A and B are shown apart, each in its own frame.
Chain A
Amino acid sequence: QQQVKQSPQSLIVQKGGISIINCAYENTAFDYFPWYQQFPGKGPALLIAIRPDVSEKKEGRFTISFNKSAKQFSLHIMDSQPGDSATYFCAARGLTGGGNKLTFGTGTQLKVEL
């Protein structure tokens, strides 16, 4: 079954803290795992992405950790800022060359408080 489970549904973090969002998948054919950030009234914007042959990828304050054997991956936002308050979606793409269908997690509403 092509599902991506995301947790938590909502998250409140203090400014400067670390935000952690977790995702788990079932289909081992997924080959690409992007994270998107969405602000109200806007379309999702690509944040960072990883392939399953890499265990960690870091871009600025954002890091993806990937555990292929456990079929889990997570997003860490270091030094969280109020401007990071948004909804975050993990996603997974099917077989390489098999098209661009993304299966999304249910989203995490992040609020960063001062």
Chain B
Amino acid sequence: KAGVTQTPRYLIKTRGQQVTLSCSPISGHRSVSWYQQTPGQGLQFLFEYFSETQRNKGNFPGRFSGRQFSNSRSEMNVSTLELGDSALYLCASSPTTGFGTDTQYFGPGTRLTVL
């Protein structure tokens, strides 16, 4: 099975712009979660989508949003970019939403740099 894929892998934006990141989960996985990774804050949960519905949301401002499509692919959007949004954005997929030994498998991430 192909793993989790994320596009683009690298992105450079300027403050005030908006950005959309894409994630394709492992075939058959219906849950997609997004995480932000920075040297200062580590790995932080952004949100989870399952069957096109937001299941959980982390403590991030409303500028961070996402959606999931019927084929389980997910997009994440960040509006009005700030310098502090520079980070590695990771997508993880899982068969279901937190049952038993369901495990999340991570993609390679999108490295976002805000200038």
User: Do chains A and B stick together as partners?
Assistant: yes
Please report the C-alpha to C-alpha distance between residue A107 and residue B38 in the assembled complex, in whole angstroms: 12
- Shortest distance between the CB of A93 and any CB in chain B (Å): 6
* B42 proximal to A (CB < 8 A): yes
A interface residues, how many (CB within 8 angstroms): 28
How near does chain B come to A89, taking the closest CB pair, in angstroms?
A: 7
Segment touching B, from A13-21, A41-49, A59-67, A68-76: A41-49
Task: Decide: B97 and A99 in contact? CB cutoff 8 A.
Answer: yes
Is the Cβ of B103 less than 8 Å from the Cβ of A98? no
Flag B35-65 by CB within 8 Å of A: 1 or 0 each.
1000000111100101000011010000000
Residues of A near any B CB (own CB < 8 A): 32, 34, 36, 41-46, 49, 51, 89, 91, 93-107
The 10 closest A-B pairs by CB, nearest first: A43-B106, A104-B43, A99-B56, A99-B55, A101-B56, A100-B98, A44-B106, A43-B108, A99-B98, A101-B45
The A interface is mostly helix, strand or loop, or mixed, namely loop
Tell me the bound Cα distance from A34 to B102 in angstroms: 10
Residue interface bits B92-107, CB-to-A below 8 A is 1, else 0: 1010011111111111
Instruction: Check B108 against A96 for contact (C-beta < 8 Å).
Output: no
Q: Given the complex, which residues of B lie within 8 Å of A51, measured CB to CB?
A: 101
Given the known interface contacts A100-B56, A100-B104, A101-B33, the answer about A106 and B42 at a Cβ–Cβ threshold of 8 Å is yes
| Most B-side CB within 10 Å, residue of A41, A42, A100, A101 | A100
B68 in the interface (beta carbon within 8 A): no
Q: What would be 6 A-B contacts, judged by CB atoms less than 8 Å apart?
A: A43-B108, A93-B98, A97-B99, A100-B31, A100-B92, A101-B58
Residues of A contacting B33 with CB < 8 Å? 100-102
Task: Give bound CA distance, A6 to B108, whole Å.
Answer: 23
Report the Cα distance A89→B45, complex, angstroms.
14
B26 within 8 A of A: no
Q: B106 and A36: CB pair below 8 A?
A: yes
A44 touches B97 (CB 8 A): no
